[in-house]
């Protein structure tokens, strides 16, 4: 502040309309200081929310359609702060839970599709104009057909093949008989491999009931990092007094290329969520989180809360994985360690600035030294906030992550995926 000098005794009449200088009182100085620091605080908050130069990352994001933004998938270039529309199709429920990404190929279930095709779209991220839909297997019998469930995430194998669920049904709407199984589609050859009816496996198990009629498959599945195995859930079913019932469920492995090769891992009704990048553990979600040691088939609970793991939240090479608590924070597991829980990376309540509510799209960077995530100002409670994109080291209790971009509210959906371009 400029030094104060009292002119009251020496200053003559002001030449402008007879104004005379007045002494600055102590109260005036106090008010001035209050205003000065108020303006300074506003300026500081603006600096806090300003974004540094972006890092050159590109992301796959989505919009359900809003204002001038049409529905579909977009490639978000944070360097240019631009959104390029790449497809009219988008994942089921606008969620990463129905999308997989591997070796530059994306596959996802979608509702907004042509009537004559399956609900599973796939594309290479460098050729979105070549987006296609996986075929629905033919039965060769007019009295039966295959259906492709929309609520099960497809998986992309290391070699580019796409794994998805199919269910064989009879044309009789009163017939309970059905066969859920895997379809493995090779876009290079247009060949479809079916894993086969699991009834033989189910009926050979000691848990078979007296009225168990057959076996089927349902729910999410996961694939080994080398693409050789698919881990899925099969179950026995039957009817009693005219009522359909499910008897028991098993976690099994299926060896790709060998139809019928179901191998028991564990009896469990919990949901398959992920396979660690080193191929050692299968993760189940249900009453907490459990890991299955695939060498011994032993099952151990390692967390008390249910969680699903989206693409890029599981390390590509180790037993590490990121768990995110929507709206509040995230942390690191290492299933090779004892205990598996390592540390909290982000506690949203301790972040500086106004963007504190973490989103679903949290993920590892390509070299896995950092995580990249989105955060909102409304803690993801009503999805009415723009999203700030941050990155930070995989370290304990980070409070000042680096801001790399901002997504307008029109793109604030459950789809946020780093593309390794």
DSSP string, 300-359: EEEESS-----TTSB-SSSSEEEEEETTTEEEEEETTSSSSEEEEEEEGGG-SSS--EE-
Closest CA to 95 of 152, 45, 42, 54: 152
**Cβ 327 vs Cβ 348: under 8 Å:** yes
Cα distances (angstroms) measured from residue 334 to each of 27, 300, 303, 316: 61, 14, 12, 13
Torsion angle, alpha carbons of 219, 224, 226, 230, to 10:
-40
CA 404 to chain centroid, in Å, comes to: 19
**Cβ 76 vs Cβ 69: under 8 Å:** no
Concatenated DSSP letters for 109-143? E-SS--TTS-SEEEEETTEEEEEEEPPPPP-S-TT
Burial of 250 (0-12, 13-18, 19+ CB in 10 A): buried
**Cβ 58 vs Cβ 45: under 8 Å:** no
Cis peptide before 377 (omega within 30 of 0): no
**Cβ 276 vs Cβ 177: under 8 Å:** no
Mean pLDDT (whole number) for 319-323: 97
> What is the pLDDT of the chain when averaged over all its residues?
87
Mean pLDDT (whole number) for 162-172: 96
CA distance 263 to 281: 16
- Summarize pLDDT for 333-372 with one digit per residue, the tens: 999 999 999 999 999 989 988 998 888 789 999 999 999 9
Residue 405 confidence class, pLDDT cut points 50, 70, 90: very high
Measured in degrees and rounded to the nearest 5, phi and psi for residue 200 equal -60, -40
Residue 184 confidence class, pLDDT cut points 50, 70, 90: very high
Beta bridge partners of 166: 181
Cα distances (angstroms) measured from residue 188 to each of 84, 253, 420: 28, 25, 22
Coil, strand or helix at 39: helix
- Lowest mean per-residue pLDDT among 35-49, 162-176, 389-403, 407-421: 35-49
- pTM recorded for the entire structure: 0.86
Does residue 157 or residue 414 have the better pLDDT? 157
Cα distances (angstroms) measured from residue 200 to each of 9, 155, 205: 108, 25, 9
């Amino acid at each position: 502040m400029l030094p104060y000098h009292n002119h009251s005794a020496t200053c003559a009449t002001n030449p402008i309309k007879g104004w005379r200088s007045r002494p600055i009182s102590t109260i005036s100085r106090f008010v001035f200081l209050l205003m000065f620091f108020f303006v300074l605080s506003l300026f500081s908050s603006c600096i806090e929310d300003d974004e540094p130069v972006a890092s050159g990352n590109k992301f796959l994001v989505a919009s359900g359609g809003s204002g001038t933004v049409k529905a579909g998938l977009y490639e978000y270039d944070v360097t240019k702060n631009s959104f390029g529309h790449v497809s009219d199709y988008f994942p089921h429920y606008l969620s990463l839970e129905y999308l997989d990404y591997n070796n530059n190929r994306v596959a996802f279930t979608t509702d907004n599709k042509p009537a004559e095709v399956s609900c599973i779209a796939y594309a290479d991220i460098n050729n979105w104009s070549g987006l296609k839909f996986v075929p629905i297997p033919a039965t060769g019998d007019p009295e039966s057909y295959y259906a492709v469930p929309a609520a099960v995430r497809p998986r992309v194998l290391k070699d580019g093949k796409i794994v998805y669920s199919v269910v064989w049904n009879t044309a009789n709407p009163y017939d309970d008989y059905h066969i859920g199984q895997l379809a493995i589609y090779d876009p290079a050859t247009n060949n479809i491999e079916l894993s086969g009816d699991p009834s033989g496996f189910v009926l050979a198990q000691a848990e078979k009931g007296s009225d168990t009629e057959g076996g089927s498959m349902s729910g999410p599945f996961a694939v080994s990092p080398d693409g050789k195995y698919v881990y899925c859930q099969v179950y026995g079913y039957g009817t009693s007094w005219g009522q359909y019932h499910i008897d028991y469920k098993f976690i099994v492995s299926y060896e790709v290329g060998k139809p019928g090769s179901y191998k028991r891992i564990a009896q469990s009704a919990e949901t398959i969520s992920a396979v660690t990048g080193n191929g050692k553990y299968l993760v189940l979600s249900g009453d907490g989180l459990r890991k299955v040691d695939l060498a011994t088939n032993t099952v151990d609970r390692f967390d008390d809360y249910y969680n699903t793991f989206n693409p890029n939240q599981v390390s590509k090479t180790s037993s590490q994985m990121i768990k995110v608590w929507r709206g509040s924070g995230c942390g690191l597991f290492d299933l090779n360690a004892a205990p598996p829980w390592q540390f909290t990376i982000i506690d949203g309540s301790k972040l500086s600035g106004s963007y504190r509510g973490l989103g679903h799209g949290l993920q590892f960077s390509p070299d896995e030294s950092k995580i990249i995530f989105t955060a909102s100002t409304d803690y993801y409670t009503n999805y009415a906030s723009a999203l700030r994109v941050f990155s930070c080291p995989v370290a304990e209790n980070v409070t000042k992550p680096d801001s790399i971009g901002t997504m307008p509210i029109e793109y604030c959906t459950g789809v946020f995926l780093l593309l390794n371009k």
